[in-house]
Amino acid sequence: MAQTTKIGNVTLNFDRYKGMDLYCDGQIEDELLDIVMNNDPSKFPEIIEKKGSWPVLYHLSEQRSNIIEWIPMSGSEKVLEVGSGCGAITGKLSQKSGSVTCVDLSKKRSEINAYRNKNCDNVTIHVGNFKDIEPDLPNDFDYIFLIGVFEYGQGYIGGEYPYDNFLKMLKKHLHAGGRIVIAIENRMGLKYLAGCREDHLGTYFSGIEGYNSESVARTFTRNGLIQIFKRCGINNYHFYYPYPDYKFMTMMHSDYYLPGLGELNDNVRNFDNSRMILFNEKYAFDGLVKDGMYQDFANSFEVIIGNEFPTVFSKYSNDRAAEFKIRTDISVDRAGRRIITKAPLCAEAVDHINSIRDAYEALKERYRGGDLEINDCQIDEKTGVASFSFVNGEPLSSLMDKCLAGDDIEGFEKLFREYLRRISYNEEMAVADYDLIFNNILVNGPIWTVIDYEWTYGKQIPTKEIAFRALYCYLEEDEKRRKIGIDKFYKELGLSEEEAKDLLEEEAGFQKYVTGNRMSMVEIWKKIGKKATVPAELLPPPEVPVFNPEAIKLYYDYGEGFSEENSKELDTEYDKNGKAMIELELDDNVMKLRLDPVSHPCIVSLTSVKWNDERISDDNSALGIHPNGAWLSDESIVFDSDDPWIEFDFTSDELKKRAVNRINIRLTVSSIQKKQAQDLVSYQYAGSDESDDEGLRFSKLKGLFKNGLKKGSTGVSDRKRKA
């Protein structure tokens, strides 16, 4: 008699379960089980933010299912998922197919899966070793999925050729015309060469060196996988390249649509382990792309064994509020023509897709008679998908990069002025594309075409503000672009320093608007606490200036901002090691305090901050601390400015209730070479496409503005409302 039980609508089958889980992550699985038993999946994003835990992020993030969400299904397919784990993929497969049969070794993980997906009435989970369960499985599956599983074939199957035998075993259970889908790390992925640890072992370079006989898992190169396929008689296979990797895929290329220069810039984050940074992966990827070698060094593979799909590229924008979650695809039709589509990823995003068609009509009208083309947009009323023509041309950003590479600043300036001329046409009309950045304009001779206008608003926006944002995004993508000398471009736009600061605050608010005020993946990465460190040997030569003690200067804000009138130099002096202790009694009407430690690039460690003798910590954050530098750790800040400062904000309701306003600050200042400081700032904020298509990484540009910008600014102007 079959040994089955039900959790919600999900059936668990224990016929082949031997009474003991062969692997277990311990207490974290109990925590995950408690979460899924007592919370709706809609609460998972909030829980992920609160926990700041890699296992919780890995098992519960919606983005895990991106790796299979793009695969077209009719809804009637019969699916086998081998190694279903805690169900990160199962729920999406249930939505897309007719039935899902899962196999997993762990009873506890299968229970997590079942509770998580308890409303799915087409899911059965078989608990036990795949080798034991396999004889009971039918032979007519349309799809077999191995997401992060094939590398464990040695443990599942055993024998001299476990991976070959695993594939041959799976092939027997495919329906004619069925497909096997494998997602796996590339043993020679660039991130491992650049200093990421091997995912399964947590050690450096173990995959690159070929593993040892005791390795629990083995990943493969592209050719290594092809050799396995050929030994199994498989000749119909197709490689896709998830980026940054298959776990949290945001983009996926293929052999038919490879990445362009500058496209791969989300490289530093590594959630599961701290890592080294041995070189800049963006520049290394650009070199591989240029030389046609990307496929061999992509971080991950997704292989479709069986007939190919028309989709050749996908990009996900689902690290957003539900109303903005979409997927952008490039597909090839039967005539060989490329077609671009944008599809809503949930019901809430349907209106957003429809608004893109409205944006097309409005922008077409604005630029009628001008020198800016708007790529056409059509909406399929039945599917809710927007389609666009594939436009040939080179991104304006790429043309600008070529000018910089040749030290042709004059050529760059000429392109920028042409950009201003074209986008300012009919500026007085009440319609504007807020996202008219250089990447979104393709240049083909005299024809400039806007290819993405998702963030178009029914309001007039000054050209200088749109151009400011275009420059902002351009600099964000590549540290080398700072050589343009940004100040002269802001001056040409007629932007004051204060206006630039306001626009940066507006940009930060826009990001929070797009993400629904949720944490970005970069913020979650920081909370998880994994570090990205540069080995000392790779840092610039230690030509560090000798620490020259200076007077510590304080500015007081009584509600009207900081001024020289309300400032003073302290008698407190640094000792020979750059340490100082500041003790202040503050008037009740002091709202903010600004501390200027020195007047050159440095690293400041706030070894202790006490408010009314109570130490400030992450759990006691009523006091806001806002530097114009980059946080290296919970205590240390690096400043690449000649005017470093740290602002202490006393305006929280909790602090206003205190009767005594006494603040004690212990700090240590270390002088640092400006280039070294800039590199550290760049490394700290590099590689984060954090919230949406624009790659908006607000923090990294703080050091460009003398007066800085408060960390965590929010708020969206009334312009940020759709037409």
DSSP for residue 617: B
As a whole number of angstroms, the distance between CA 626 and CA 648 comes to 6
Residue with tokens 């795949």: 130
Q: Residue 627: its pLDDT value, please?
A: 93
Token pair of 34, please? 């408690």
End-to-end Cα spacing for the chain: 62
For 110-173, list the strands marked E by DSSP. 123-127, 141-147
The full set of domains in the chain, from first to last, is 4-311 (3.40.50.150), 323-354+367-389 (no CATH), 394-524 (1.10.510), 540-687 (no CATH)
CB of 217 closer than 8 Å to CB of 187: no
Answer positive or negative: Cα dihedral of 365, 368, 372, 373.
positive
The residue length of the chain stands at 723
Task: Answer yes or no: is pLDDT of 719 > 50.
Answer: no
**Alpha-carbon distance 529 to 273, whole Å?**
9
> In the structure encoding, which two tokens stand for residue 477, read together?
């993508």
Q: What is the pLDDT of residues 307-316, one digit of tens each?
A: 999 999 999 9
Which helix (DSSP H) or strand (DSSP E) does residue 466 occupy?
helix 463-477
And the tokens for 596?
């200027």
Among the residue ranges 133-142, 207-216, 577-586, 706-715, the one predicted with the least confidence is 706-715
Res 346 pLDDT > 90:
yes
User: What pLDDT is stored for residue 214 in this prediction?
Assistant: 77
Q: Mark out the alpha helices in 39-172 (DSSP H runs).
A: 44-51, 54-60, 66-69, 90-96, 107-116, 130-133, 153-156, 162-171
Confidence of residue 688 (pLDDT cuts 50, 70, 90): very low
**Strand stretches in 418-558, DSSP E:** 432-433, 441-444, 447-450, 456-457, 532-533, 553-557
Backbone angles phi, psi at 560, to 5 degrees: -120, 15
CA 4 to chain centre: 40
User: Which pLDDT band, with edges at 50, 70 and 90, does 461 fall under?
Assistant: very high
Write down the pLDDT at residue 705: 30
Would you say residue 721 has pLDDT above 70? Answer: no
Give percent of the chain above pLDDT 70.
91
Q: What is the pLDDT of residue 720?
A: 32
pLDDT confidence tier of residue 588, bands split at 50, 70 and 90: confident
* More confidently predicted of 481 and 25: 481
Residue 28's Cβ-count burial label (10 Å; 0-12, 13-18, 19+) is middle
Q: Which residue carries 């064994």 as its tokens?
A: 305
Of the two residues 559 and 655, the one the predictor is more confident about is: 559
Structure tokens at 369: 């008679």
User: Is residue 64 over pLDDT 90?
Assistant: yes
Whether residue 90 contacts residue 102, with contact meaning beta carbons closer than 8 Å, is answered with: yes
Judge whether residue 686 has pLDDT over 80.
no
Cα distances (angstroms) measured from residue 426 to each of 74, 237, 280, 423, 465 = 46, 51, 42, 9, 15
Q: Which residues contact 558 (CB under 8 A, 6 or more apart)?
A: 566, 589, 590, 591
Q: Which residues of 34-54 are buried (b: 16+ CB within 10 A; e: fewer)?
A: ebbeeeebeebbebbeebbbb
| pLDDT in the model for residue 711 | 31
**Residues 538, 278: contact at Cβ < 8 Å?**
yes
When comparing pLDDT for 659 and 456, which is higher? 456
Whether the pLDDT of residue 704 is over 70: the answer is no
How far apart CA 312 and CA 331 sit, in angstroms, is 5
Mean pLDDT of 552-579: 88
Percent share of the chain, pLDDT over 90:
65
Least confident of 137-141, 569-573, 645-649: 569-573
> Which amino acid does the sequence have at 22?
L
Q: Evaluate if residue 34 carries a pLDDT over 50.
A: yes
pLDDT in tens, 94-150: 999 999 999 999 999 999 999 999 999 999 999 999 999 999 999 999 999 999 999
Nearest to 700 by CA among 684, 677, 676: 684
Range of weakest confidence among 150-164, 393-407, 611-625: 611-625
* Residues in contact with 160: Cβ distance below 8 Å, sequence separation at least 6, in sequence order: none
Q: What integer pLDDT is reported at residue 545 of this predicted model? A: 57
CB 301 within 8 A of CB 186: yes
- Segment 5-21 mean pLDDT: 92
**CB-neighbour burial class of residue 334 (10 A; exposed 0-12, middle 13-18, buried 19+):** exposed
Contacts of 87 (CB under 8 A, 6+ apart): 112, 113, 114, 116, 117
| Cα–Cα separations (whole angstroms), residue 455 to 26, 695, 721 | 45, 14, 9
Q: How far apart are CA 254 and CA 302, in angstroms?
A: 9
pLDDT at 543: 55
User: 244 preceded by cis ω (within 30°)?
Assistant: yes
User: Taking a C-beta distance cutoff of 8 angstroms, is the pair 116, 36 a contact?
Assistant: yes
**Do 399 and 261 contact (CB within 8 A), yes or no?**
no
Assign 3-class secondary structure to 577-610: CCEEEEEEECCCCCCEEEEECCCCCEEEEEEEEE
Chain centroid to CA 556: 38
pLDDT for 547 equals 61
Q: How far apart are CA 710 and CA 645, in angstroms?
A: 11
Highest mean pLDDT (candidates 401-410, 615-624, 650-659): 401-410
pLDDT band at 642 (very low <50, low <70, confident <90, very high): confident
Inform me whether the pLDDT recorded for 71 exceeds 80.
yes
pLDDT value, residue 716: 32
Report the C-alpha gap between 149 and 424 in whole angstroms. 53
Residues paired with 342 in a beta bridge? 328, 386
Q: Which among 453, 452, 455, 461 is positioned nearest to 429, based on CA atoms? A: 461
Q: Is residue 711 exposed (0-12), middle (13-18) or buried (19+ Cβ within 10 Å)? A: middle
Q: In this predicted structure, what is the pLDDT of residue 573?
A: 81
Q: How confident is the model at residue 261 (pLDDT cuts 50, 70, 90)?
A: confident
The whole-chain average pLDDT of the chain stands at 88
Is the model's pLDDT at 260 over the cut of 70?
A: yes
What is the rounded average pLDDT of the residues 203-217? Answer: 89
Look at residue 567 and give its three-state secondary structure. Answer: strand
152-156, 277-281, 430-434, 535-539: which has the minimum mean pLDDT? 535-539
Q: How confident is the model at residue 525 (pLDDT cuts 50, 70, 90)?
A: confident
| Residue 700: per-residue pLDDT | 33
pLDDT higher than threshold 50 for residue 409: yes
Region 224-241 average pLDDT: 97
Top-ranked range on mean pLDDT: pick from 120-124, 377-381, 521-525, 626-630: 120-124
Answer for the pair 133, 82: CB distance below 8 angstroms, yes or no: no
Report which of 116, 115, 121, 113 is spatially closest to residue 95, judged by C-alpha positions: 121
In sequence order, the 6+-apart residues with CB closer than 8 A to the CB of 600 are 545, 642, 644, 671, 674
pLDDT of amino acid 482: 83
pLDDT at position 621 is 59
Residue 72 is predicted with a pLDDT of: 95
